[in-house]
Amino acid sequence: MKLYSTNNPSSSVSFQEAVFNSMPQDKGLYMPVSIPRLPDSFFEQLPNYTLPQLAFEVAKHLLGDTIPQNDLKALIEDAVNFEAPAVELEEDVYVLELFHGPSLAFKDFGARFMSRVMSYFLREGEKQLDVLVATSGDTGGAVALGFLGVPNTRVTILYPKGKVSDIQELQLTTNGQNIRALTIDGTFDDCQALVKQAFVDDELNAALRLTSANSINIARLIPQTFYYFNAYAQLLREGKTNVAFCVPSGNFGNIGAGLLAWKMGLPVKQFIAATNANDTVPAFFKTGIYEPKPSVQTLSNAMDVGNPSNWARIADLFKDDAEALKSLMVSYSYTDAQTTEAIQQVFDKYKYVVCPHTAIAWKALTEWQAQHAGVSGVFLSTAHPCKFPNVFPADIAAAIEVPSQVEELERREKQAVSLDKDFDGFKAFLLGNK
């Protein structure tokens, strides 16, 4: 597999290089030089595959001979070791539960696959890989748990003191092994600034092999295609062939993976991108002008993105055919008041609790289906509601089933090193704790 930069399609790098660089020097994003259509035999078999089986088939086609097949199979079985059920709420309305991984959010798919790919590519005897992540909550948990126990890697997470939720803090600070947490007296931006400065510090780069495990890493995008194929397979088993996916979107990596699956031949009828008040993409579909703006804070804070980093990938996928994008994808945006209302409506209608991100996707699917009868709709549930205890009224909060792994977390001791936000202290910590 070769990849080019969206800013410079004439140069290309190996998959391994793209994984360790995360982002090309020219600040574009890596995209596969060729996106093969999966063979007819794959689609004929689709209803019969388990999630790891079809994940292997998809990855094999995309990666080519980059990783030998036996190794790839083992890697995928280790990475994709939890379910992604499409649960029917009523005729032609399904919720795709992507929160059954260790951090209870869909980012586990990307983080677990990427960590194992990185570990695979590390040569024996090579310096341990030091992953630095700044987090405002969710990404850090997925990355930490994704790398937990992965040989020859170590993760240092920086999070702003007092500014992450209780469950998030437990996920960040109770791992031990190769994961350590630093709680920074500052904001998320301060954490991010420390990480960025570390990457350009000569002394640190000489002493440590640093990587960012960034959210735009191509190794996080690829595994997100798996659950689209898997959801489609589940609907096929029920005789449904006319399928729309509705995706709660922030950086547009999730829906970008869906479009990649479509490019590989998955016959999806419609993609619906649902956003909160950060409506750069819905505005683009309305006006034809793509105009990134500063993000605004909402209840669905994992989608508070004014300049979606994966948009460049979507634009690149459809660079030769903007009209195809406009017919394949629509986009809606909702306020916090509509989000809260949607949570209530889903609960009243189905006795089902959705997190605020998922609620927005349900709302958008409902709006779209009102105009399009006879299409089965799947809305993606990106996180377990127990991660956002403060957004629910008491009766809905009481109906949330807290997974056993969270109860187990609550019994563990939090361990984090406190640092202030100056770079020298952070650098001294990294050099002093190699």
Ligand X SMILES: *Cc1c(COP(=O)(O)O)cnc(C)c1O
Q: Which residues bind ligand X (CB under 6 A)?
A: 105, 107, 138, 248-254, 302-303, 357, 382-383
Give the HSE-up count for residue 348: Cα atoms under 13 Å, Cβ half-sphere: 7
* Minimum CB distance to ligand X, residue 154 (Å): 24
The edge-to-edge listing of strands for the beta sheet with 86-90 is 86-90, 93-97, 376-381, 243-248, 270-275, 329-333
| Nearer CB in complex with ligand X: 86/302 | 302
CB-CB contact of 382 with 357 (8 Å): yes
Report the C-alpha gap between 101 and 108 in whole angstroms: 6
Closest separation between CB of residue 136 and ligand X, Å? 10
Closest CA to 269 of 316, 315, 235, 227: 235
Give every CB contact of residue 70 below 8 A, 6+ residues apart in sequence.
Answer: none
Tokens at residue 359, please?
A: 């609620």
> Least distance from C-beta 70 to ligand X, angstroms?
31
The minimum distance between CB 188 and ligand X, in angstroms, equals: 14
- Looking at beta carbons only, is 201 or 295 nearer to ligand X? 295
208 vs 359, beta carbon nearer ligand X:
359
CB of 215 to ligand X, least distance (A): 7
Between 217 and 254, name the residue whose CB sits nearer to ligand X: 254
DSSP 345-392: HHHHHHS----HHHHHHHHHHHHHHTTSTT-EEEEEE-B-GGG-GGGS
Q: Which is nearer to ligand X, 13 or 356 (CB)?
A: 356
Give least dist CB 284 to ligand X, A.
15
Shortest distance (Å) from residue 303 CB to ligand X: 5
How many other CB atoms sit within 10 Å of the CB of residue 411?
A: 8
The 8-class DSSP code of residue 303 comes to G
325 token code pair = 């994008």
- Return the number of the residue (102 or 250) whose C-beta is nearest ligand X: 250
Q: Please, which residue, 343 or 383, has the CB nearer to ligand X?
A: 383
